[in-house]
Structures are given as C-alpha cells and as structure tokens.
Amino acid sequence: PDVLVVNGHRILCVKAQRNPADLPWGKLGVEYVIESTGLFTNKVKAEGHVKGGAKKVVISAPASGGAKTIVMGVNHHEYDPATHHVVSNASCTTNCLAPIVHVLTKENFGIETGLMTTIHSYTATQKTVDGVSLKDWRGGRAAAVNIIP
C-alpha cells in the first residue's frame, strides 16, 4: 500500500475509487468518513462508505435522499446514533446563519426581514475564465470578475 511518512510516522494512503464501497475503510480501521468530494451527496451513494466498512459518514454539503441534516447549536439534539449513520452538516452558509436565526426566533425576538451576503471561495462548479454554460448564461462568466448575482 501507499504510505506517507511524516516525522517517522507512517500514514496509509487510500486511492480514490469511483464507488465508495470499494474503499477499504473497515480494513484500515476507519470509523468516520467526511464525504467532501461533492460526488456522493445523496444518502444512498454516501452509504457506500458504510458498505466499505466505515461506521458513520458526514456529508459536508446539503444532502438529498433522506440524510438527516444536523447543524450544531440548532438541531444537534435530534441526532440518533442508532439510526443516523449518514448525516449532512448542511452548507457552510447554513452553519453560519442558522445558529443566529435559531437564537433570534427561540428567544422570541423574531425576524421581519433579512438580507445576507455570502463571500465564498470558488467552487468546483464555477469557471475561472469566461466560457460556455449550458444551464445559465451567468454561469459561464469568470468567477473572479463576475458581479452578476
């Protein structure tokens, strides 16, 4: 197997697989997988990591297919370790905004209107230079110079 050595400490490296069930998590003693590839955000697809031997999977993006979304400080008490083997941690924007909204509504302050601006690094779906976007003409603009909302 491939090994990365850092200060004499040997770390086993796992090569990417198209199917997460093919990853040797159980053999390597991996209990928790952070699914942050963006490819397996559906609960059924992310469960492939469990089939590979992991005990739990946290999807680092909004998930589909029935995965429970857990936001610390908002609904973390709803987590059930016996049934929630694949969970979503929502989005970075949700993790920023939801706790504030939760406190304001829980303490009966309420919210009449709201506006939020997110400053975010480029994502894999954004173009770094102008190009063609089949879904949306705005999506074809270079992210660094695109001010179109």
Distances 92 to 72, 88, 103, 130 between C-alpha atoms, Å? 12, 11, 18, 26
Distances 17 to 24, 59, 73, 96 between C-alpha atoms, Å? 10, 17, 34, 32
pLDDT at residue 7 above 90? yes
What is the structure's pLDDT at 75?
Answer: 97
What is the structure's pLDDT at 53?
Answer: 97
CATH 3.40.50.720 range(s) for the chain read 3-118
Contact 106, 74 (CB under 8 A): no
For residue 139, what pLDDT band results from cuts at 50, 70 and 90? confident
Give the mean model confidence (pLDDT) for residues 13-26. Answer: 91
Percent residues over pLDDT 70 in the chain: 98
Q: What pLDDT, in 10s, does the model give residues 20-43?
A: 999 999 999 999 999 999 999 999
| Residues known to be catalytic | 92
Contact 48, 24 (CB under 8 A): no
What is the structure's pLDDT at 136?
Answer: 80
Averaged pLDDT score across all residues of the chain: 91
What is the structure's pLDDT at 36?
Answer: 93
What is the structure's pLDDT at 149?
Answer: 63
Q: What pLDDT, in 10s, does the model give residues 43-74?
A: 999 999 999 999 999 999 999 999 999 999 99
Contact 58, 49 (CB under 8 A): no
What is residue 149's three-state secondary structure? Answer: coil
According to CATH, the topology of domain 3-118 is Rossmann fold (3.40.50)
Q: What are phi and psi of 6, to 5 degrees?
A: -125, 115
Give the mean model confidence (pLDDT) for residues 131-149. Answer: 79
What is the structure's pLDDT at 128?
Answer: 84
